[in-house]
Chains A and B, each alone.
Chain A
Amino acid sequence: PGSRGLLHSEDEVALPCIHKLVAASSFSKPKVLTAASTLKFIPEELAVFCRDFRLLHFYFPENGLAPQAFRVANAIAQAREEAARLGDAAGGWASPGEAPPEEEEEEDEDGEEGSSTTLLFESLRDWEKELQRLGAEGWRVSAVNERFDMAPSLPKYLWVPSGLLDHDLKRTFAHFQERRVPRLCWHYPGGGDLLRAASFHPASEPGSEDVREALLRGAARWGHQPGGCKRMRRGLQREPPPHHLAPPEPSDRDLNCLLASLVQLLGDPHARSLPGFQSLVQREWVAAGHPFPRRLGLLGRDTPREEAPVFLLFLDCTWQLLWQFPADFGFTEAFLLALHDSSFSPYFSTFRFSCQRQRGHSSLPRLPSQTYRPMGGWQDPGGHRGDPHPCSFPPVWAWGRRYTRQQREQFRNPVGPPGPAEPLSPGTPADPCPWGGPRLVLTLAKGSLCPHTLPWWSRPPLRPPLRVSPSDSQGTQWGLLGTCQPPPGLLLPCTAGPCIRLWHRCYLRGMPQEQRGRLAPSLAGLAEELQLLQDRLHAWNLRRPHCDP
C-alpha cells in the first residue's frame, strides 16, 4: 500500500495504465469501452483492467437507474483515449512554465543518492567515467555522433577501439542497419569484450575495402549480435577471455538491450548494486535507444504489433537472478516492482522516448498551450545536472519524488554487496591465450553461440570453447566449468525448468497475500536492530570503560 508513486491510494489508476475498460449489465453482453465505441446501455458494473495487473471493479448498486454510471463510464473511456493522444503528441506535452508543485519534496541527503550516483550517459563525462571503471584498454569514447547525424538512434557518445579514428569510423555507419555500428558494451575483467551492433545493412558489401580497412585498422574484433533469450546467459556468462562475443539482432534495439544487460548482471557486481543497475538500464536501454513508448504500448497511436514487453522481460529475468542469489544484489524485489510499476506511466523521461535524440528534442517547449499536469505533479528535471537540454519529465530514478524515505529504504538490500564503483580489477585470464594469438569471435544467432562471424574472418578450425562433450570431459574435466570455481563475482544461475519461478508479487500483485511482505522489513529490520544493539552496546562500553565488553 502506498507504494504507487504518484497515486495516493490503491483505488487510483493513472489513465495510461488502464489496459481495458469493460462494462456489463444484466441485459447486455459485457462491452469493451473505447473512445470510439461508447456505451449503449446503462452499466451495472465497470471493470478497469490495469496494465499493472490490478483490477478495479465498480458496481453501481442502483441497478441501471443511475445515469451517472453511464456518464462516468463514457468519461473514463474518453479521458483514457485523450491521455494517450496527449502523450502521443510528438515527444511530449511537457509542462513548460508550469509552476513546481506546492509541496516541495524535501531532498534529504541520502534520499537521492541513488539517482546522483546513477550515470545517465548523456554527458561525455559519464561515458569516460564508466570506461575507466571497466578498465577496458584499447577503447575510447568517440563523440562522432554528438549531433546524432551519424546514427540518429544511437547515443551521442560511443565506445570504439582506440585505434579507430573518427574519420574511418564514419565510413562504417552506412553498413549497418539504422547505422548502428558495433561498439563496446562491457569489458570483462578476464579480458573479453562484449559488443553490440545491428546486422548489416542489406545494401552493404561487407567485404568492401571501406569496411575492412576501418575495422582492421582499429584492430577491432567486431562481432555482431543477434537476439537471444534467457538461456543464453549460460553461454555468455563465462566468456573465455580471449574471445569477443556480441549478440546481432537486425535492429540492435530490443533483444540486444536485454542480452547485453543480463550478461553484465551476471558478470559485474557493480551492475548488481542499486546505482549500478540504474546506470546499466540507462546505458543499455535508454541511451542505446530502446523504443520504450512503442514497446510498452504507452501511446495511443501505437499499433499492437509494435508492443512487446522486452523491458519487462528483462525485469523478470533480473528477478529470477535476484531470487536465485538474494545476497548478491544491492537492491530488492521492492525496487524491481517499483520500476515495473513505473514503466506503465509515461510521466518519466526514462520511458517516454525512443532514443537520446528524441529526448533532446522534446525538451524544447512545443505545446505551450498545453497545461496538463499529472496529479501529484513533478518537478524540474532531476538527476542530470548541467545537461544542456533538460527534459521536462523527471527520470524514473528520482524515486524521492514518488516514494517515501521509508519505502526507498526497502529498495536496498542490507545484506547485498555494496557494489564498489571502483575500476574492476584486471583479473587474470583463466585460460591464458597470448595476445595476438587467434582470437575467437562468437556471434549469437538463433539462440546459440556460433564461431562464425564476419565474412572476412578466417579462423576456420576454431572450435567454440563452450562445449561439453562426453569424451572430452572425462577425467578432470567437469562439464563446462571444469573443476575450477567460477571467478568471484560471477553468478551462475540455474536455468533448469524447476528453477524458473513465477514472479508472484509482480503478476499476482492484485492478490492480497502477494502484497504482504512486499515491503517486508524482515531482513532489513533485523539488520537495523543489530545496528541499534551494537551502537547501544558501544555507547554503554564508552560510558563504563572499566567494564570489559
Chain B
Amino acid sequence: EIHIKEPIEKEVNPHLLPGELLLCEASTVYKYVQEDGSNRGTYGKLVCTNFKISFLDDDSASDDNEPQFKNKIVGENDITLQCVDQIYGVYDEKKKLLTGQLRKYPEKLIIYCKDLRVFNFCLRYTKEEEVKRIVSGIVHHSQTPKLLKRLFLFSYASAAPNNTDGRNQTVMFETLEDWRDELERTKGNVKYKAVTTNEGYRVSERLPLYFVVPICISEESILKYEGRGIPIWCWSCHNGAALLKMSAFPKEQDDSTSQMQKAFLDGIYKTISKPPYELLKVDDLSSSLPSLQDIQTAYTKFKQLFFIDNSTDFWATDVKWFSLLESTNWLEIIRRVLKKAIEVAECLEIQHTNVLLIEENATDLCCVISSLVQVMMDSYSRTKSGFQSLIQKEWVIGGHGFLDRCNHLRKSDKEEAPVFLLLLNCVWQLVQQYPPAFEFTETYLTVLSDSLYVPIFSTFFFNSQHQRDTNKSGESLKTQSGPFRFLTVWDWSVQFDPKALAFLNNPLYAEKPKPDRSQRKIARFKHQRQLSLPLTQAKPSTKRGFFREETDHLIKNILGKRIGKFINSSDEPPNSLREFYDSWHSKPVDYHGLLLPRIDGPEIKVWAQRYLRWIPEAQLHGGGTIATTAKILDLMEEVQSLQVKMDEEHSQAVSGDVHSVPMLRNSARLSSLFPFALLQRQSVKPALPTSTWKDLEDEDDLVKRDDEFVDLSGDML
C-alpha cells in the first residue's frame, strides 16, 4: 500500500568532486523519509562512488528549503564510505548484517552511519541487475579491507589543485619553529628543548620529526630504545611544572634485557627528578584508566541507542532509556577520564609536581589526558585556533593512530577504539558546563567529529607523521609530478560557507579583556589566587565540603553507614584531590583561568546534539536551551546596537563593530538540536501505548463492550 508517485524520468547526475569516480548506480530506489512505518519517501537514484554513497532525489528541484547550515562536501543524502558503520539487508522482514560476499540480495537496505544517521532504502522497485550491482558495490567499497593508497584522499589530492595557502591560525607542529614557539609560549624553554634527533626518522617512525625533551636528555639515550623510556614534553604549567608522556617498554621475556631497561629508566628518572626539575609523579594510564577495549565496548553499546530504525523502535526502547544508558557505561568512562585529568591538574597546579603519563605507545589515552589537562589549564586551548593547535600537537603530529583507531581501511576491528571521540565527548562536557569559556560551540565539536570520516583532509587519515610524509611524495603514482598537497580539516571554509561558519563560533565567549602582551601576567596572577587555597587544613568549617556524598546518601536513603567514616577520610590520599576540587568549585569561575569540570554523576550528560540530532522524537520544537540562547542573543544584539547608537550620539566616531550572530531569530521554529535537526517532521509519541491499543483494536472486544452502552445522544434530544 505504498503511496506511489510516478517516478519522474529525468537524468539526475551526482555532484562529483575532483577525482571522484562513479562506480555503480541503481535507479527507482525508494528512500524512506524516516522509517516510521508510514512508507513515506521519495524515489531516486542510489549511487556509489570512490568517495561516497549518495541518494539523488528524483524531484530534487524542490529544494526551496535551503538549510542554514549546510556542508558543501557531504550533503544531506551523502554518506562517505568511511562514514558507513554497518549495513543491514532486510530479507522477508528479517534484518541481516551485510559484510562480504552476498548470495541473496535484500529488498531493503539499512545503512547506519558513524555520524549516527540511519538510511532506509527500498530496492523492491529496482531492476534486479541494478540491485545486485549497487548492493555488492556498496558493501564492497565500504566494508572490505582497503589499501591506504586507495583512499579517496589521494585521488582528491592529485585531482584537486590545492590553492589554499594552508596558513591559518592553527599551529601545525610540523616544523622545529612551531615547537620552539610553543616552548616559548608556555615558558617551558628553560628546562626543555626541541630536538632534531628524529630527522629522517632515525629514532622511530612512531615519533614526530621534532619533539621536545628535558634539556638534560642526551641524543644517545633518545636513540637507544627508539625513543621508548624517554619523557616527551607535552606542556608546561605557569609554575614551571610540566606534563610529560613516555612510551613504555614492551613486556620483555629476556631477563637481562629487562634489567637493562630498568636501569635505563632509573637513570632517566634520576636525571629528571633532580633540580631544576620538579618532583616527578608517574601515572601508568594503562592501569589507571579503562582499557581501549573497554572504551570500544562501551561506545559500541552506547551508539546502538541512537541507531533508531523507526519511530516504533524509538518508543519501544525509550521506556528503558535510563537503564539502557546506564548499562552502556559510556558516561562512566567519560567521568573517569575527566577525573584523571583533574588529578593531573592538581599535581601540576597545587603540588608543583611534574606528571609523567605512561602508556604503551603514548598515543592513545596519553593524548586524551594531556589534551584535556591543557584545555582545563590553558585558556589558549579554549580558543578555536588554540584547540586546533592542541589537536595537531597531541594527536596528529603526536602520532595517534587515526587510521587504525577509526578503522578507516577496514583492516582490523581489533585496533578500533573511539579514543578521539572520547576526547571530544569530554571536552563537550566542559563546553556545556562553562559555555562562556570557549571560543567554539558544541556545533564546532560536532562537525569536527563528523570530519573524522571525510577523506579529503589528511588530518585524520594517517597513523603518524612518518606515514603521512612517506605517502605524500606521490612516487608510487608515476603520473604525479609533485608531492600531494593535502587539505587540512582546519580549513573550515572547504566544508562550510561563511554563513554556516558562524555557527562554530560562540557569540557568548568571554574574550580576554586585555591585549596579548600582558596575557601571561594576568594568567599568573589569577593562578596565584588559585594557589592560595587552604592546602593542609583537613576540612572546611562548614558542611559544604562533604555535602555531595551525603546528598547522594540522602537521596538513596542510606543512613545505616557510619557517618564518621566519610567525615574523617582526611587520611586517605585522594583527599587532597577532593579538597582541590571542592575549593575550586566554591569560588566564582574565572573563564580564563583554571577550569575544572564537575564530575558528579548528574553533571555528566549525553552530548545530545551529536547523538540525538537525527532523531525527531527526541527534539523539543522551539524549545530547550536554544530558545534561551536565541533570546539572549536578541537582547545582546539590541544592547550592542543601542550602545553603538549612543556612542554615535556622543559623536565619538566609534565604528560599530557588532559581531554578527547566527540567525537564531525565530527560535520557535528551531528545535533543541539546531542546527542539525530537521523540521520536516513532527513526530509524536503514540498517545495510546501500543499494547493497550492492540487490546482496543480487538473487534470482538469492542462488540462485546457495545452491549453495556446506552445511547446518550438519543435521550438528549
A residues touching B (Cβ–Cβ < 8 Å)?
11, 19-20, 22, 24-26, 29-30, 32, 44-45, 47, 49, 53, 55-59, 207, 216, 219, 231, 234-235, 323-327, 415, 436, 438-439, 447-452, 455-461, 464, 466-468, 470-471, 473-475, 477-481, 492-499, 502, 504, 507-508, 510-513, 516, 522-523, 526-527, 529-530, 533-534, 536-537, 540, 547, 549
Considering only CB atoms, which chain B residue lies closest to A536 in the complex? B646
Q: Tell me if B635 and A448 are in contact (CB < 8 A).
A: no
Q: Tell me if A216 and B681 are in contact (CB < 8 A).
A: no
Which residues of B have CB within 8 Å of A30?
Answer: 559-564
B132-160 interface mask toward A, CB cutoff 8 Å, 1 = contact, 0 = none?
00000000000000000000000000000
Considering only CB atoms, which chain A residue lies closest to B551 in the complex? A510
Q: Tell me if A327 and B628 are in contact (CB < 8 A).
A: yes
Interface residues of B in 505-528 (CB under 8 A from A): none
Considering only CB atoms, which chain A residue lies closest to B639 in the complex? A530
- Are A499 and B620 CB-contacts (below 8 A) given A448-B689, A460-B709, A492-B684? yes
In angstroms, how far is the closest chain A Cβ from the Cβ of B5? 11
- Are A537 and B646 CB-contacts (below 8 A) given A47-B563, A53-B551, A449-B687? yes
29 A-B pairs with CB atoms under 8 Å apart are A44-B564, A55-B551, A58-B543, A207-B710, A327-B631, A436-B713, A449-B687, A451-B696, A452-B705, A455-B710, A459-B712, A470-B36, A473-B38, A474-B40, A479-B681, A480-B687, A493-B623, A495-B685, A497-B321, A498-B612, A499-B618, A512-B547, A512-B586, A526-B635, A527-B635, A533-B639, A533-B643, A534-B642, A547-B649
Which residues of A have CB within 8 Å of B602?
Answer: 502, 504, 508
| B462: Cβ under 8 A from any A Cβ | no
A234 to B619, CA, bound (A): 14
Q: Give the most central of A467, A473, A497, A536: most B CB within 10 Å.
A: A497
Q: Tell me if B620 and A507 are in contact (CB < 8 A).
A: no
How many A-B residue pairs have C-beta atoms within 8 angstroms? Tell me.
235
B616-645 interface mask toward A, CB cutoff 8 Å, 1 = contact, 0 = none?
011111111001100110011011001101
Q: Give the most central of B38, B639, B705: most A CB within 10 Å.
A: B38
A523 to B713, CA, bound (A): 53
Q: Tell me if B681 and A478 are in contact (CB < 8 A).
A: yes
The answer, among A415, A468, A502, for a CB contact under 8 Å with B631, is A415
Q: Give the most central of A57, A452, A536: most B CB within 10 Å.
A: A57
- Are A458 and B712 CB-contacts (below 8 A) given A30-B562, A327-B628, A523-B628? yes
Apart from A45-B564, A216-B716, A475-B40, 17 more pairs, CB < 8 Å? A47-B563, A49-B559, A59-B567, A235-B687, A449-B687, A458-B706, A458-B712, A460-B709, A461-B702, A467-B693, A468-B684, A479-B683, A496-B618, A499-B672, A512-B544, A516-B588, A533-B643
A29 to B314, CA, bound (A): 49
In angstroms, how far is the closest chain A Cβ from the Cβ of B539? 8
A252 to B20, CA, bound (A): 68
Considering only CB atoms, which chain B residue lies closest to A50 in the complex? B554
Which residues of B have CB within 8 Å of A473?
Answer: 36, 38
Q: Tell me if A466 and B608 are in contact (CB < 8 A).
A: no
The answer, among B311, B639, B709, for a CB contact under 8 Å with A457, is B709
Query: What does DSSP make chain B's interface, helix, strand, loop or mixed?
Result: helix
Q: Tell me if B585 and A512 are in contact (CB < 8 A).
A: yes
In angstroms, how far is the closest chain B Cβ from the Cβ of A459? 7
Q: Give the most central of A25, A451, A492: most B CB within 10 Å.
A: A492
Q: Tell me if B620 and A493 are in contact (CB < 8 A).
A: yes
Interface residues of B in 570-612 (CB under 8 A from A): 585-586, 588, 598, 600, 602, 606, 608, 612
Considering only CB atoms, which chain B residue lies closest to A504 in the complex? B602
Q: Tell me if A474 and B667 are in contact (CB < 8 A).
A: no
Q: Tell me if A457 and B712 are in contact (CB < 8 A).
A: yes
The answer, among B543, B638, B682, for a CB contact under 8 Å with A479, is B682
Q: Tell me if B546 and A57 are in contact (CB < 8 A).
A: yes
A179 to B600, CA, bound (A): 49
B313-343 interface mask toward A, CB cutoff 8 Å, 1 = contact, 0 = none?
0100010011001000000000000000000
Q: Tell me if B322 and A497 are in contact (CB < 8 A).
A: yes
Considering only CB atoms, which chain A residue lies closest to B712 in the complex? A457
7 smallest CB-CB distances across A and B, nearest first, come from: A497-B321, A458-B709, A57-B543, A470-B37, A460-B706, A466-B687, A480-B684
Q: Tell me if B617 and A496 are in contact (CB < 8 A).
A: yes
- Are A526 and B627 CB-contacts (below 8 A) given A59-B567, A475-B3, A478-B681? no
A71 to B696, CA, bound (A): 65
The answer, among B39, B554, B667, B687, for a CB contact under 8 Å with A327, is B667
Q: Tell me if A510 and B612 are in contact (CB < 8 A).
A: no
Q: Tell me if A496 and B635 are in contact (CB < 8 A).
A: no
A49 to B561, CA, bound (A): 14
- Are A24 and B564 CB-contacts (below 8 A) given A324-B623, A511-B548? yes
The answer, among A415, A496, A530, for a CB contact under 8 Å with B314, is A496
Which residues of B have CB within 8 Å of A495?
Answer: 685
